[in-house]
A and B are shown apart, each in its own frame.
Chain A
Amino acid sequence: MSKDNQILEEFTSKDYEHGWSVDMEVDEAPLGLNEDIIRWISAKKEEPQWLLDWRLKAFKTWETMSEPEWANVTYPKIDLQSLRYYSAPKKSNKPKSLNEIDPELLQIYERLGISLNEQKKLQGIAVDAVLDSVSVGTTFKDTLSKLGIVFCSFSEAVKEHPELVKKYLGSVVPTTDNYYAALNSAVFSDGSFCYIPSGVRCPMELSTYFRINAANTGQFERTLIVAEEGSYVSYLEGCTAPQRDENQLHAAVVEIYAAKDAEVKYSTVQNWFPGDKNGKGGIYNFVTKRGICAGDNSKISWTQVETGSAVTWKYPSCILKGDNSIGEFYSVAVTNNYQQADTGTKMIHIGKNTKSRIVSKGISAGKSQNSYRGQVQVMKRATNARNFSQCDSLLMGDKCGAHTFPYIDIQNSTAKVEHEATTSKIGEDQIFYCNQRGISTEDAVALIVNGYAKEVLNQLPMEFAVEAQKLLALTLEGSVG
């Protein structure tokens, strides 16, 4: 083994630093999945009949579907009957302020370096913290509600804004869309809801921290973001999960609706437990994220920094229906040890003069596999559609893999589609150059990797970008030394 690889090995075999688990009384559904469980969840959440019917319909569809196998990932089949589909912290009286939040929960946030109090004061971010399945704290509601902005847990939205939920739920990702989306529709427990009324520019970043905390709990979050005509919102979602021995399934659905002249910026930093250095444990992350630029001149921009999960299957997509609408996808996906990621985007051009931009930066270390899968589709009426795709891969060591699967489908001859792809190896030369200036190897790797991912990191809101940089460094810590 060359020195370079030996170095990489040491650097990559560090244990996950955010690994912990806090025992908490849970109020949970029996194990397994059937109609009764779905009724149980719906009743538990005191849902209206229409929603129960919607879930049951999704469940019926799901029963006819089978697990997709086209992604470039391999993992043991998940026994969905051995999972528990609902688990909530027991103290269910809704807190009115942070002081009322279970100190045990606050402690978890603190150990992750995320203090709600701090964030509230310093960053002007409204935080809707989701622990397991129930929303436990929502801040900044007042400021937002004065503008008519709704930002709350999904269950709350079902209770307080049923007409909005009913109108948009499933309108972007139908229950029939795919296996995991159907499953999510049947059993989703909670999530976030965000509504920006016409002409309102949301004055702060809306942020949700998702955590997974109960063993054997499939996580089925549901997020719905609606931006009415001429509105703007920047929405952040970040994840860190406790260390677990068993694989945990996560199948979230995110739907974004942008009306005429509206703009939605959606950013994620995802750091779920990736499994230990031998590939044991770790989260399975099968996510369906899609936005529709329904109105003319609307814009949806996805930015993701993916560092966690044992297996990732995720393709944030844009349906560019309105004329002149714009879809963007900026992604950094890091895989280390035995992680597998198959991620990318779909840009579907329907309206005239629609534009899309894809910037994907994959980083593979250890024995991981990192795949980009992207589809650009230009429909018949999409005159003058434009797409630019840039897919880069960075390899650390020679035991990992990077793969690119671009699909292009053009039905209008005026379309202009450009695709660029590069693969590079993190250079021994670069590391030595940094060393020679007094920079340690770990910091050198962090510098080089952050430089490589810069175009994507620049898309993130400032404080998030800083966090993401640290996360990238942390994820690759030990891979070179």
Chain B
Amino acid sequence: MLSIKNLHASIEGTPILRGINLEVKPGEVHAIMGPNGSGKSTLASVLAGREEYEVTEGEVSFLGKDLLELAPEDRAREGVFLAFQYPVEIPGVSSTNFLRTAVNQVREYRGLDALDAVKFLTIMKEKMKLVEIDQKLLSRSLNEGFSGGEKKRNEIFQMAMLEPKLAILDETDSGLDIDALRVVSNGVNKLKSPDNATIVVTHYQRLLDYIVPDYVHVLYKGRIVKSGTKELALELEEKGYDWIKEEVDAAV
């Protein structure tokens, strides 16, 4: 469903991604790990279409379409969802209002009728249960004054509402307490289907105990330098990144 070939991207002239290759098939869960500053969030942003990043080389196809050709909102409407590492605050706009606008624009793109208020609220109630999110939070201004954990939970709630084909979760586990981690992970697992795929960016094995990956990749200096199965994550947890860094740096 997602095919990334030799992707290079830079910001303000500084190359960050230097030749990423990744194949994601429907139903799969891929974990992306790697040291701070290795380019994980950059990869997520480039896939989502953030304009500050310039793609200098390579191609990305998503469900047969050239993803890089699409505007950010159209990527979202095609089914790409990014749970942000740092969700953005929008004062004065309630989550409910925000999501209703989003859901209806996505539906319109897909040739579906807009949901009326009643239908929308019914679906919302249902999805709220999935991540155990409080109604009160959703009537507040989007992310404004939310705790770190509340923001992350809200991201996954939005994912539930938008039902993406490809979800990219950028350090969704950071900021979640132990119970919240379980709840949110369970939510993600319930949203999994043979037709959709998930990319989880994380630093910790903890999350992968709940959301079990089919593949684990290590990103370092803008490249995927190692790929493996879930055992690789355990190995990283134990040994850290130094041995990989040494391998890579020695080879250069």
Contacts and interface: CB of A to CB of B under 8 A. Distances in A.
Q: Do A and B come from one complex?
A: yes
Interface of A: 3, 427-430, 432-441, 443, 447-448, 450-455
B76 A436 contact: yes
B76 A438 contact: yes
B51 A3 contact: yes
Contacts of A3: 51-52
Contacts of A428: 51-52
Contacts of A448: 90, 93
B243 to A, nearest CB: 36
Contacts of B129: none
B101 A439 contact: yes
B105 A452 contact: no
A452 B93 CA distance: 8
A437 B71 contact: no
A429 B84 CA distance: 11
A124 B103 CA distance: 34
A439 B90 contact: no
Q: How large is the interface on B (under 10, 10 to 19, 20 to 34, 35 or more residues)?
A: 20 to 34
Contacts of B90: 430, 433-434, 447-448, 451
Given A3-B52, A439-B102, A452 B92 contact: yes
A432 B76 CA distance: 11
Contact of A437 (B49, B50, B92, B102): B102
Contacts of A434: 73, 90, 98, 102
B162 interface: yes
Given A429-B88, A430-B90, A436 B105 contact: no
Interface string B70-103: 0111011100011010011111110001110111
Nearest to B102: A437
Given A3-B52, A443-B105, A447-B101, A438 B162 contact: yes
B211 to A, nearest CB: 21
24 contacts: A428-B51, A430-B89, A433-B88, A434-B98, A435-B71, A435-B72, A436-B49, A436-B82, A437-B76, A437-B98, A437-B99, A437-B102, A437-B162, A438-B73, A438-B77, A438-B103, A439-B98, A443-B101, A447-B97, A447-B98, A447-B101, A451-B93, A453-B92, A455-B92
B172 interface: no
B106 interface: yes
Interface of B: 48-52, 71-73, 75-77, 81-82, 84, 87-93, 97-99, 101-103, 105-106, 109, 141, 158, 162
B92 A450 contact: yes
B87 A433 contact: yes
A207 to B, nearest CB: 26
A438 B106 contact: yes
A447 B142 CA distance: 11
A447 B156 CA distance: 21
Nearest to A440: B73
A436 B142 CA distance: 15
B73 A435 contact: yes
A441 B92 contact: no
Contacts of A439: 73, 98, 101-102, 105
A428 B11 CA distance: 15
Contact of B92 (A429, A440, A451): A451
A440 B73 CA distance: 6
A451 B91 contact: yes
Given A433-B87, A437-B98, A447-B101, 15 more contacts: A430-B89, A430-B90, A433-B90, A434-B90, A435-B49, A435-B71, A435-B73, A436-B81, A437-B158, A438-B76, A439-B102, A447-B98, A451-B90, A451-B93, A454-B92
Nearest to A441: B73
A429 B91 CA distance: 13
Nearest to A6: B51
Nearest to A429: B88
Contacts of B141: 451
Nearest to B48: A436
B181 to A, nearest CB: 23
Nearest to A432: B50
A438 B109 contact: yes
Contacts of A435: 49, 71-73, 76
Nearest to A458: B92
Contacts of B158: 437
